[in-house]
Structure 1
Amino acid sequence: MANTAYTIEERGARNSLDYRVYFKDASGNAISPWHDIPLFADQAKKIYNMVVEIPRWTNAKMEIATAEPLNPIKQDVKKGALRYVRNPFPHKGYIWNYGAFPQTWEDPSHIDPATNAKGDNDPIDVLEIGQRVAARGDVLQVKILGTIALIDEGETDWKVITINVADPLAEQLNDIEDVEKFMPGFLRATVEWFKIYKIPDGKPANEFAFNGEAKNREFAEKVVEETANFWKALHAKSPNDSGLDVKNLSAGNANSIKAEDVKPILEGKPLSSTVAAQPIADQSAIDKWYYIKL
């Protein structure tokens, strides 16, 4: 189920360094998807809002721009080039709808006792494993099933496993063991994907906490709660020296800004529908399968 209170506005040429996806609330005000969208869609029922950065089967490595005003979604860049994940056989692009929980933050100064590694300075990552291929910028209502933890260059990189509450399997999937019961092989494929997806780019296989074992729903909910508390602490700091942009429209927040103050942020950025998309460089390398031997 998508949260229809939010819409997106794409600006800049698609497949370019300038491309951004901005978010708006029901009143048409530009907002931050990281700071203005609440973590919970229904806290009593433990239903969360998930911001979709990367739809399933796609290769462009999109992410919330945590250091930019309004925190739009943009494509990650390395050495001046847009980043795409390769297709490690038999997978095609990302194998879930991939995104983040708003109002969470993995504190890079905190050493997680469960992983013995610090946070990665981003909102916590979310995998939505339902049947629908989401759209970039969707805000989905999901429930948590469990989590796995990558150790990426010495940092804890939690991947929270969720299901869209509107998915046909949502009623049967309530904890991590249900995933193997109703979607046999999916957890194994998830760990395999994260282990090997960087190898075509010349990097070593990724490592995991807990030997790649997925932790259950209760464990995952506690991890998310902790990152929500880190986010609150981030906003409480004054001045903020994190290098992150925490300005938002939320009433009563010390970092609040007025709706009229965000208009200059969008000025000079053409709507994506009015400019031609850029051709993707080396499309053949993005489309091909890479056969990996560990």
Structure 2
Amino acid sequence: SPLHDIPLWADKAGRVANMVVEVPRWTNAKMEISLSEPLNPIKQDVKKGALRFVSNVFPHHGYIWNYGALPQTWEDPRHVDPDTGARGDNDPIDVIEIGERVAARGDVIQVKILGTLALIDEGETDWKLLAIDVRDPQAEQLSDVPTWNDCSRDYCALLLNGSDCTRCRMA
């Protein structure tokens, strides 16, 4: 199971986590770890009976970053987050990996956590961690994202590839 059998930390002291890639960079299919099936396969998300895809946002095609989740994490729908005032979204914590590599679906990559983005999606807290692959040429130069402290609506939409960011802030 990509959720239960992969450790969260590759190097906890160094803030290096394992990330399971659900949606590789430049792809459109909205994939996610299934919490309801045995062994938690990565499957295409379905909403109202239709497979979900991410729209292209000119000039980009699909997700502009590798997108995935942290193993052994879960946003509890019974817990009201003190920062957002909303309950968890019942999913693993999401990761937006901003490096230059195009990963493959199911890859487990070691990432350095740079910051967090708190979103309210359909009334639920949906945390996004901003991270970079430790093997990326820029990884050693990046330690956090202090210039992103005030996430503008336009920049948030770029990070999330066009998602509605009516309540977007860096934490």
Q: State the alpha-carbon separation in 1 of the partners of residues 61 and 43 from structure 2.
A: 21
**Deviations 1:188-219, CA, capped at 9 Å, x for gaps:** 76502367735xxxxxx3322xxx3323xxxx
After superposing on structure 2, the runs of 4+ consecutive aligned residues of structure 1 that deviate more than 3 Å are 187-190, 193-196
Offset of residue 162 of structure 1: 0.2
Tell me, yes or no, if structure 1 residue 164 matches structure 2 residue 136.
no
Structure 2 CA distance for partners of 1:39 and 1:100, relative to 1, 3 Å: same
Partner of 1:191: 156
The answer to whether the 8 Å contact 2:64/2:161 transfers is no
The answer to whether the 8 Å contact 1:101/1:123 transfers is yes
Q: State the alpha-carbon separation in 2 of the partners of residues 119 and 97 from structure 1.
A: 22
Question: Which of structures 1 and 2 has the bigger CA Rg?
Answer: 1
Equivalent of 2:68 in 55, 74, 99: 99
Give the residue type in structure 2 aligned to 1:207. T
Offset of residue 47 of structure 1: 1.0
The answer to whether the 8 Å contact 2:10/2:16 transfers is yes
Gaps of 5+ in 2: none
The answer to whether the 8 Å contact 2:28/2:55 transfers is yes
Tell me, yes or no, if structure 1 residue 214 matches structure 2 residue 165.
no
The answer to whether the 8 Å contact 1:100/1:126 transfers is yes
Tell me, yes or no, if structure 1 residue 152 matches structure 2 residue 111.
no
TM-score (norm 1): 0.54
Structure 2 CA distance for partners of 1:55 and 1:196, relative to 1, 3 Å: closer
RMSD: 2.3
Offset of residue 92 of structure 1: 2.1
Identity across the alignment (%):
67
Gaps of 5+ in 1: 1-31, 181-186, 199-204, 216-294
TM-score (norm 2): 0.90
Offset of residue 82 of structure 1: 1.5
Offset of residue 178 of structure 1: 6.6
Equivalent of 1:45 in 8, 11, 14: 14
SS in 1 for 2:139: coil
Structure 2 CA distance for partners of 1:85 and 1:112, relative to 1, 3 Å: same
Partner of 1:133: 102
Give the residue type in structure 2 aligned to 1:83. R
Partner of 1:114: 83
Q: State the alpha-carbon separation in 2 of the partners of residues 80 and 194 from structure 1.
A: 27
The answer to whether the 8 Å contact 2:23/2:66 transfers is yes
Indicate the structure with greater strand content.
Answer: 2
Indicate the structure with greater helix content.
Answer: 1
Structure 2 CA distance for partners of 1:168 and 1:95, relative to 1, 3 Å: same
**Deviations 1:240-288, CA, capped at 9 Å, x for gaps:** xxxxxxxxxxxxxxxxxxxxxxxxxxxxxxxxxxxxxxxxxxxxxxxxx
Q: State the alpha-carbon separation in 2 of the partners of residues 48 and 118 from structure 1.
A: 24
Give the residue type in structure 2 aligned to 1:72. P
Give the residue type in structure 2 aligned to 1:98. Y
Equivalent of 1:74 in 35, 39, 43: 43
Q: State the alpha-carbon separation in 2 of the partners of residues 105 and 195 from structure 1.
A: 20
Q: State the alpha-carbon separation in 2 of the partners of residues 169 and 136 from structure 1.
A: 22
Aligned length: 170
Partner of 2:56: 87
Give the residue type in structure 2 aligned to 1:168. P
Give the residue type in structure 2 aligned to 1:206. C
The answer to whether the 8 Å contact 2:63/2:161 transfers is no
